[in-house]
Structure 1
Amino acid sequence: MAKIDGHIDAAEMEHIVSIGERKGMRAQDVKALLADCHNVKLSMPNNDLDRFDQIYDLVEMMLADGIVDDSEMDFCIDIATKMGFRKAVVGVLVKKITTGVKDGLSREEIKNEAISFLEL
């Protein structure tokens, strides 16, 4: 996601590292993984709450550099669809997360709103 606009700035790298650390990885391991990301096999989450968390992380990444590129927004929507969210709601879901993050809402507040919206 961070590379989709052609570059990774410091804020995006910091965010990627914080996500990795939250998942139990060391910063240097995250950076090494990112440097060799073309060899990484992705696995999809198997429940809606984990799917939400991954989409949330993608949206935060999209917002990390303060610039929302159309290709980044399209990527988030495409990934949400591939994860199994209904096509009819993925655009609204990504926009709700984006708005919530920009408005300073917590992850849990945004998740609670999404749960009622998506009926997770």
Structure 2
Amino acid sequence: MFGFFENEQTKKLKSHIVNLAALAKADGHIDEREMNFIVAVGQKNGMRAAEVRSLVGNTSSVKLVIPDNDSERFDQIFDLVDMMLADGVVDNHEMEFCIGMAEKLGFRRDIVAVLVRNISQGVKDGLPREQIKEQTQTLLGN
């Protein structure tokens, strides 16, 4: 699926998969539920499971590509937080990683911890992604 001439969307997807893998590894290993979550994100975006697993195994070859709009950046941090919660245990390394990734994705330093906590709480409460996104718009200044 991914050839020599990758488009921007493919680069963003691969970068997102790598970010998810890095978060999964933040506690020292990738748990089966975390890997299943990463594979599901890839499949939702047109990748085969084997491609996702291969990418996760070779993460050093992919550079971070920052989305160019708040909606895509929100979707990436949402997936990171959702995966952090996937194994039912949130350790400090995972939380710090999510906060750090939110900053790298271009969210303002003064709101990233609140953003991550709000997304986390929304996921725990079973709210749909779009509702959580709407609720966080005031934080993003939109």
Question: Which bracket does the TM-score occupy, shorter chain normalised?
Answer: over 0.9
Give the counterpart letter for 1:18 in structure 2: A
Q: Identify which of 3, 6, 26 aligns with 2:48.
A: 26
Q: State the alpha-carbon separation in 1 of the partners of residues 90 and 104 from structure 2.
A: 21
TM-score by length of 1: 0.96
SS in 1 for 2:63: coil
Q: State the alpha-carbon separation in 2 of the partners of residues 64 and 5 from structure 1.
A: 13
After the TM superposition, which residues 14-53 of structure 1 pair with which residues of structure 2 at under 5 Å, given as runs? 14-53=36-75
Larger mean CA deviation between 101-110 and 33-42 belongs to 33-42
Q: Unpaired runs of 5+ in structure 1? A: none
Equivalent residue, structure 2, for 1:99: 121
Q: State the alpha-carbon separation in 2 of the partners of residues 82 and 45 from structure 1.
A: 10
Identity of aligned residues (%): 55
Q: State the alpha-carbon separation in 2 of the partners of residues 2 and 38 from structure 1.
A: 15
Q: State the alpha-carbon separation in 1 of the partners of residues 127 and 84 from structure 2.
A: 16
Give deviations 1:32-58, integer Å, cap 9, x for gaps.
100111221120111111110000010
- Aligned-residue offset at 1:119: 2.4
TM-score by length of 2: 0.81
Q: State the alpha-carbon separation in 2 of the partners of residues 65 and 38 from structure 1.
A: 25
